[in-house]
Structure 1
Amino acid sequence: MSGDLATMDQEQHSPVRPGRTWFSKFRRNYFGTPISSAISILLIALVVATGPAVLRWLVLDATFTGTAAACRENGGPCWAFIGAKLNLILFGAYPDEQLWRPVLFLSTVAAIGVYGYMFPRRQTKVLLAWLLSLLLGMALMRGGFLGLAPVDNARWGGLPVTIIVTIAGLAGAFPLGVLLMLGSASKNIAIQIPCKAYIDVVRGIPAITLVFMTFAIIPLLTPQEFIADKLLRASTGLMLLTAAYFAEALRGALEALPKGQDEAGKSLGFRYWKRQRLIILPQVIGNSLQPIANISIAFVKNTSLLIIIGLFDLLGAARSSLFDGDWQGFYRELYLFVGAIYLVICLFMDAYVTSMERERKERISR
């Protein structure tokens, strides 16, 4: 009897083998059902069949240094083209001697993103940091103070423009989306109908049309001395579009919220805006994190539309690098490189929101 008790005690206190735990999770996630097993086997077969050829084309047959003539002679992918045009792809026509300014801005944004991912509880401070990074980026890119040489925004381009438009557009779209959501759920017809009409109409307009309309119509409605520059007008167009999608995503979460939440706030004597701020909106936003992430990712990809109004975002600046006659024809390498950058940004945004969602669930479970 004592031997059995000793054995049980040893089993209870013996550490769990991480390899066995990892393998069980892997088997459960990818081979837990016949359908998931079949899909996993097909994907593995696809990787085995195409992987060696893709690896050979990407790496073994590639030219990493040299001239365009050497790339054409070798016949494989020309990653030397990316190295030769890297500054133009990432920063557009920004002066080479001032590139430390956009680099500093991008480094700041990356640091804030990593901090927000690692500490999801501190999103209020992180949100303020995002807004300050936007002001810092605009100031650094523009210059004209503290001895910084002024740089016209016509020379801005590449990744900094994509990041600036994304932060500015999302910072404006989300509050507007919240107001539209509250307006569409209002019992006041004078507020409800315009908000619903805005959401339905704007969501039915293609993004490229709305960006062009915003860019072309704002100068007609604004006095000449108050006309905003291209960057602000482009951010406004994408902001108006994204706000409608935010409003619809939030409205779904609002309708799923039990009505007793609002009634409990009324019983405590809270007025409308206090109920929204303390009770309703935290739950609505928390339950909408994944749709918010999806809309934000779509916003990042929609910044590629800025080229139609003469702004060279990441994709526009990359395409301009093909105008060099010596390097023409290497578009596959270019689009793979730019696509990888967009993929990293979008994957990080998804992981960022997932960390917030995980922290929220842990807080509720306590």
Structure 2
Amino acid sequence: LSDFAPQQTHVYTKNASYWDKDKVYIDQIVETYNSQYNTVGPQMVKTGEIDQADIGSDILDSWLLDPNTADLVSKYRAKVDYSYFYCFNFNPTFDAEYEPENWRLAVNNENFRQSLMAGLDRVRELSVLDPNDPQSLAINSVTPPGFTNADGKEYTQFGDLAAIMARDSFDETKALEYRDAARAELEAAGCTFPVKVLVRYNPATVDWDKECAVVEQQMEGLLGSDYIDIITVAGPESNFLTEVRRSGDYAFMKCGWGADYADPQTWTDPFYGDYKYAFLTEAMEAGDPVAVTVAEYRALVEAAIAETSDMARRYELFAAAEAYLIDHALAIPFSTSQTSYQVVRLNVFETQYAPFGVSGLRYKGQHLQSDYVSMEQFEANLAAWEAAR
């Protein structure tokens, strides 16, 4: 890192003393900050100012239909080292205007959480990111399918998790049944309707605002605006994790996690253990009703962690814990890494690859091409990589 000017420029320069420098083919990378990147990035590609830009769903069709740009568009490489899931905030710290105590009453009610889980049309939301094949991004587990295996069996096919993988959490009929049960229970507990649901998003993330708009329209349309009032709030662009997620300034939000090592335990970190910002930690500390459910989940995780000799048994126990997390709507599985579209001059299959860690972020091994990668080239590069693998 030869130059670092926050919100201005990052310059990375090849290290001539690196032990494997002959495998580093790019001499310098310059990253320039632009707060309007989502809007101007594609245009800057056309003018030759930058080598990579995301292509949002709002312009994807126009780029694919235009003969001048159709061959410039390709996809990101699919990953199994990261997944997204919707989280409920059990310890709200947001402003009084969003009624945090009323939200606390609602979110502690399992039927309420189940109504949101069954009422979220994930494929419809993912159509914002990939209008051509949104179903390919949706997953029913927190752990991405294909992440790891034991005794020749893929982890998500172990135990109780296998049944969850075979179904779709979106179910309009069940969503309405859960809604009616939750309303009766919550009204008796003094909860007022509609429940305000504060949904936050980072405007620096391409199309996240559009996803939130779809969620608001779709879920209020199904469950009724007299039941929930989804309120979407943007920002900040900088320090979003610290100021929003880690501080509890949200009610319901899409969150993500990346694997650190090749074992199912890595996917429990957002919800259990020593991770400082674990989503369920404060639910335990607050002593609210959901703490009983969280304690049972933690006990299942601890049983799995304790099994260190029989790997198949270990996977079965972790699958039981993950199934419990999902069955009790403590989190809502959403998608794998969202392989949206881009314009880029790199063959993304030349970089290192692993189902965990940061291998995919390294530029080592990659060449900067003279032309942008087309979709046809992307598919050919994928086929070559799969064959070599």
TM range, smaller chain: under 0.3
Specify which structure has the higher proportion of strand.
2
Rg larger in structure: 1
TM-score by length of 1: 0.20
TM-score by length of 2: 0.19
